[in-house]
Amino acid sequence: RAGLAYDRTMSDEPHDTIDALSSENRTFPPSATFKADSLVVDTSLYDEANEDDEAFWARQATELVDWSEPWDTVLDWQLPYAKWFEGATLNVAHNCLDRHVAAGKGGKVAIHWEGEPGDTRKITYQDLLDEVSQFSNVLKGLGVDKGDRVNIYLPMIPEAAVAMLACARIGAAHSVVFGGFSSQSLSDRINDAEAKVLITADGGYRRGEVFPLKPAADEACESTPTIEHMIVVKRGGNDVTMVEGRDHWYHDLMDGASTDCPAEPMEAEHLLFLLYTSGTTGKPKGIMHTTGGYLTQVTYTHKYVFDLQPETDVFWCTADVGWITGHSYIVYGPLSNGCTQVMYEGVPNHPGNDRFWEIVEKYGVTIFYTAPTAIRTFMKWGADEPAKHDLSSLRLLGTVGEPINPEAWMWYHEHIGGERCPIVDTWWQTETGGIMISPLPGATTTKPGSATFPLPGVTAELVDDEAQPVPVGGGYLTLTRPWPGMLRGIWGDPDRYRETYWSRFEGRYFAGDGAKLDDAGYLWLLGRVDDVMNVSGHRISTTEVESALVSHPAVAEAAVVGATDATTGQAVIAYVILRGGADVGEQDLRAHVASEIGAIAKPRKVFITPDLPKTRSGKIMRRLLRDVAEGRLIGDTTTLADASIVDELQAKAAASTDD
Ligand code: WT7
């Protein structure tokens, strides 16, 4: 059974996936029990937003966010630039911390943190406010001013949230780099952002061992002239070398730092953070998010998509803070809503395959948000693992990052949700800032594998190649109206911003995804239609991996494709032509990509080949390479310059699955 495939060409060839989806007729209306306590049980929010989306967002902004000064205009839209809530000022850290403490909730747990080895920290809103204020003073003391950029390269420890909120408090923009990225990726991002300070740790725990971060940070900083200071959190206890004058221990700086640091109001459009994501070229894009609109969108979506009951819910999002999901649904959304959440440092299979379910039981998690790739991994480990634990505290489940196949949805529903929890399949992107397409769990009847409908305030439309709206069937997913959390640009590259998102279809934001509308109006996401792969819910550019491969002295040419994989969604498959006389093994090339980009981009397979299938005009036929990688029979190769190469590659692929 095909499940959800990742067709990136939107061709009109017969399509197993669409056929499979059309036969997905199971529906799951919210239960009466769930509806009884739900925030939204009808179409009222949709109706209100359809009537006047600006007024709708203005109401959300007023109700959900604390402003220091009110706005003059809700939206100033000069395509492709939106300004939301101009004239207004606010502080994001104040919204996430001070206002809850002022409301008497200082003693409430903000974060139940669980380290991978089993050590724990219980952090109240008052604790978090104090630590963030102290660290804000530390940053100021090191010369960080409003408008400066600060890089963060940390494991999943509370200091990651502290560092982000401290930046927000003083108006410095953070740029978090996922701890799994290589030193090269880190230095590229630091240099693009021209960051002044880097915050890292000695190391963190992963799969029972300490993985060192500081050595990678040191290596990165050999070529980052703008970095003046490095702040190092002690977590792994591994040996590190501290550079005199540049490096400082976090605990030394915090010792004696004052907890008094007033949150300065920032302009609504003040830059809150940069987050780098892969596009279709070799260079990652620094996605820009600003203050007022972003906070409004994440607070609103965290509240309504997760149907939040702030007094009783225990929320757990399993993402890493290095990705947008961690920014929006570990740091900003949950804390702005003043809820209690779980934050976990490590992997799901340490010490056993039931670690997540042990954590759910231990903290009484009520809302659980994870990725389809994780769910497929849990399926492989078997239903006995969750069955070892009492998961009855759960009342709502969510997924994000890639399409979820109906089988995984049903397994999640049955074995994690005990057939009682609604599932919200949430579609969004680094660029959208917050959730865009998702059920509202008390109002929407779900179908396994469908993200259902755009949220109130969001307008999405499918179009065909000629930009004509597609009412039923397959098309390109576009967004037709600006939304508060939308990216404000690509750092340092306005042309690329316009070109990437606003040029394919006039007047529309093109997300890069293909989707299908069924005859009941449900949206089914089908994956990327551009040269971006999705591996375990993470975006990886084929071009970026190709550039990493050709940066190896033995490589002349490389072509990379994402092949469908039952667990990770897609797997990176590379085809490489060596330089004359060069000799290098597959493992060396895989390791080279890991050291250039990071382990997440490491190809599953590298095929060394004398040639690549190309059209007569010299374009590499990726579709053919994908067919080969996925073991499909190749049809028409008449447009190829040299058809025999395909037979050769097929033989190689067949041989590789045998070993
Ligand atoms: C791409 C964005 C949003 C945080 C995690 C990824 C894919 C995301 C879904 C979903 C189908 C999804 C899309 C999108 N995607 N969520 N529920 N169903 N596809 O953020 O790295 O910016 O990637 O992830 O292809 O364009 P990202």
pLDDT tens digits for range 177-214: 999 999 999 999 999 999 999 999 999 999 999 999 99
Q: What is the mean pLDDT of residues 165-186?
A: 97
Interval between CA 213 and ligand 1 midpoint (Å): 27
Looking at residue 6, its pLDDT comes to 25
Q: Is residue 4 pLDDT above 70, yes or no? A: no
| Mode of pairing for the β-strands spanning 340-344 and 367-370 | unpaired
Q: Kindly tell me if the per-residue pLDDT of 235 is higher than 60.
A: yes
Which band of pLDDT confidence, cut at 50, 70 and 90, is reported for residue 350? very high
* Greater pLDDT, 624 or 413: 413
Give Cα separations from 570 to 103, 323, 333, 488, 565 (angstroms): 47, 18, 29, 29, 5
Which atom of ligand 1 is nearest to 426's Cα?
17
Atom of ligand 1 nearest to the CA of 511: 26
8 A C-beta contact, residue 308 and residue 315: yes
Protein residue with least CA distance to atom 20, ligand 1: 429
* Cβ count within 10 A of residue 88: 23
Q: Give the side-chain half-sphere CA count within 13 A for 374.
A: 23
Nearest CA to ligand 1 atom 19: 402
The secondary structure of 523-549 as a DSSP string is: EEEEEESSSEEEETTEEEEHHHHHHHH
Which residue minimizes the CA distance to atom 23 of ligand 1? 429
Q: What confidence tier does 619 reach under pLDDT thresholds 50, 70, 90?
A: confident
pLDDT at 165 over 60: yes
**Rounded CA separation 159/144 (Å):** 18
pLDDT tens digit string along 75-101? 999 999 999 999 999 999 999 999 999
Greatest mean pLDDT among 9-13, 201-205, 401-405, 567-571 lies in: 201-205
Q: To the nearest whole percent, how much of the chain has pLDDT over 70?
A: 95
Confidence band, pLDDT 50/70/90 cuts, at residue 24: confident
Cα 431 to ligand 1 centre (Å): 10
Phi-psi region of 374 (alpha: psi -120 to 50; beta: other; left: phi over 0): alpha
Taking only the tens place, the pLDDT of each residue in 370-388 is 999 999 999 999 999 999 9
Confidence of residue 557 (pLDDT cuts 50, 70, 90): confident
Backbone conformation region of residue 118, classed left if phi is above 0, alpha if psi is from -120 to 50, else beta: left
Beta bridge partner(s), residue 75: 84
Measured from the CB, is residue 449 less than 6 Å from ligand 1? no
Q: For residue range 35-45, what is the model confidence (pLDDT) as tens digits? A: 999 999 999 99
Mean pLDDT of 392-409: 95
Give the C-alpha distances (Å, rounded to integers) separating 30 from 42, 115, 350, 424, 458.
11, 35, 34, 11, 22
Q: What is the mean pLDDT of the chain?
A: 93
Tokens matching residue 607:
């095929």
Among residues 214, 288, 210, which one has the least CA distance to residue 248?
A: 214
Confidence at residue 616, expressed as pLDDT on a 0 to 100 scale: 73
If you take atom 18 of ligand 1, which residue's CA is the nearest one? 403
| Of 154, 146, 54, nearest in space to 93 by CA | 146
pLDDT above 90 (res 221):
yes
> 572's torsion region: left (phi>0), alpha (psi -120 to 50) or beta?
beta
Please check whether residue 513 is in contact with residue 529, taking contact to mean a CB–CB distance below 8 angstroms: yes
Residue of 177, 318, 400 with the most ligand 1 atoms within 8 Å of its CB, for mutation: 400
Amino acid letter, 426: T
> Which of 425, 539, 568 best tests ligand 1's pocket when mutated (most atoms within 8 Å of CB)?
539
pLDDT at 632: 78
Q: Quick one: pLDDT band at residue 613, thresholds 50, 70, 90?
A: confident
What atom in ligand 1 is closest to the CA of residue 538? 21
Burial 397-406, CB ≥16 within 10 A → b, else e: bbbbbbbbbb
